[in-house]
Amino acid sequence: MTSKVLDTFLNENITDLKKRGLYNEIDSVQGANGAMITIDGKKSINLSSNNYLGLTTDDRLKKVAKDAIDSYGVGAGAVRTINGTLDIHIDLEKKLAAFKGTEAAISYQSGFNCNMAAISAVMDKNDAILSDELNHASIIDGCRLSKAKIIRVNHSDMDDLRQKAKEAVESGQYNKVMVITDGVFSMDGDVAKLPEIVDIAEEFDLITYVDDAHGSGVLGKGAGTVKHFGLQDKVDMQMGTLSKAIGVIGGYVAGKENLIDWLKVRSRPFLFSTAVSPADAISSTKAIELLMESTDLNEKLWKNSNYLKEGLKELGFDIGNSETPITPVIIGDEKETQKFSKRLYEEGVYAKAIVFPTVPRGTGRVRNMPTAEHTKGMLDEAIASYEKIGKEMGFI
Ligand code: PMP
């Protein structure tokens, strides 16, 4: 017999979430997650993927992935520290270091486990971490796992950061203090104030950690937020994911040789979880090569983003303080946000509602992710649907 306690716990909580409109039904996509998307046989304009540059379906990546399967098979076969380190993992890490302008890099199976791995390998219970209140869930979990004291910093508030850094360092209670931030905040699209953050870090000798999941491939002509500000020599740990603009899967940290050496012997997902597949490793490397060779896709991404943003702003929607392609249309109320997104879908536009607990209560938004792959026609159609539903629901 299975546990009654577990059944009661699950049933009560799921019912409660459903009642409050917080139970997220998961859609299943048939075929590629590109500029268009098919769900339950219905084709829509896709404004919800992180496939910023359209690389998930790029023929050049598909070709190297297929070749890798022929040469290496479908799995890495072991954890990296036993015999799962294939030559193509090393190639990927060399390419990542060149891409980020650092001495070395280490790759992981996902961005999420990379944050869990890297933060907890460097920080411990005798340390403190200054963490922006809007940092991604994987940063929060990585900080918790480290057992360091977590000091929440008001979002992008440099006075608050400076004050809390001063208090933490002058208290003499901690061996090391880290400041950790998203490069681009994933729900609002605003960019971290990295020049001020590194100045404060220099003043108090803080370790600097930037999660650039949404900045890589996007800012700095594709090289990311740190390069965008020219701060490669001032950020200790540049973390990123291979699952968004790069189009594949995986995570990484780029930094100095000694940091990467340490992560290779101390970060647990590297030591105890099997490496990414050969096809993943080689297609990620190819994507980075493409980004380093040409900025064409990056320019297209920005052109499309600016076009969508202008269109929505002109209609009178509140698109918050986004400085990047991430384009939230702030609705506020959770149920209204869900309804708006549902109506968009009925009109053929797939843009997800993002509500509490992913964002604070009362700040529900429909989040739009334009990509390099969208055509002007698709964006025009999306803007027309926003106009129709915005008027229908009384938002514009
Ligand atoms: N950091 C940030 C800021 C993210 O948005 C995400 C993805 N949602 C991650 C880390 C995790 O990356 P991955 O999807 O590769 O696990």
User: Which CATH number goes with the domain that contains 301?
Assistant: 3.90.1150.10
Domain that holds residue 223: 57-293
Co-location of 216 and 312 in the same domain: no
pLDDT confidence of residue 200: 98
pLDDT confidence of residue 23: 81
Q: Is 122 within 8 Å of 262 (Cβ atoms)?
A: yes
Q: What is the pTM of this model?
A: 0.96
Catalytic residue status for 136: no
Candidate list 244, 286, 352, 374, residue with the active-site label = 244
Tell me if ipTM is over 0.90: yes
pLDDT digits (tens, 9 = 90+) for 296-341: 999 999 999 999 999 999 999 999 999 999 999 999 999 999 999 9
pLDDT digits (tens, 9 = 90+) for 219-251: 999 999 999 999 999 999 999 999 999 999 999
Bridge partners (DSSP) of residue 152 are 131
- Within the chain, residue ranges assigned H as helices are 4-19, 59-72, 87-100, 111-122, 137-146, 158-170, 194-204, 225-228, 257-266, 268-272, 278-293, 296-315, 334-346, 376-392
Cα 113 from Cα 4, distance rounded (Å): 32
pLDDT confidence of residue 25: 81
Co-location of 133 and 229 in the same domain: yes
Co-location of 219 and 362 in the same domain: no
Cα 242 from Cα 281, distance rounded (Å): 9
| Angle CA 282–288–292, to nearest 5 | 145
Q: Is 54 in the pocket of ligand 1 (CB under 6 A)?
A: no
Ligand 1, from 48, 119, 186, 219: best to mutate by most atoms within 8 Å of Cβ?
186
Cα 132 from Cα 161, distance rounded (Å): 9
φ and ψ of 233, to 5 deg: -85, 0
Q: Is 225 in the pocket of ligand 1 (CB under 6 A)?
A: no
Inside any domain, residue 2: no
Ligand 1, from 135, 241, 244: best to mutate by most atoms within 8 Å of Cβ?
241
pLDDT confidence of residue 178: 98
Torsion angle of C-alpha atoms 226, 224, 110, 23, degrees rounded to 10 = 100
- Report how many domains make up the chain: 2
Element at 208 (helix H, strand E)? strand 207-211
Regions of the chain with pLDDT less than 50: none
pLDDT confidence of residue 357: 83
Q: Is 243 in the pocket of ligand 1 (CB under 6 A)?
A: yes
Ligand 1: nearest atom to the Cα of 135: 3
Bridge partners (DSSP) of residue 210 are 181, 238
Which of helix, strand or coil describes residue 255?
A: strand
Co-location of 266 and 183 in the same domain: yes
CA–centroid distance, 212 to ligand 1, in Å, is 9
Q: Please identify which residue in the block is written with the tokens 């702003």.
A: 313
Co-location of 43 and 74 in the same domain: no
Structure tokens at 372: 């390099």
Co-location of 226 and 326 in the same domain: no
pLDDT confidence of residue 21: 73
Ligand 1: nearest atom to the Cα of 136: 3
Inside any domain, residue 12: no
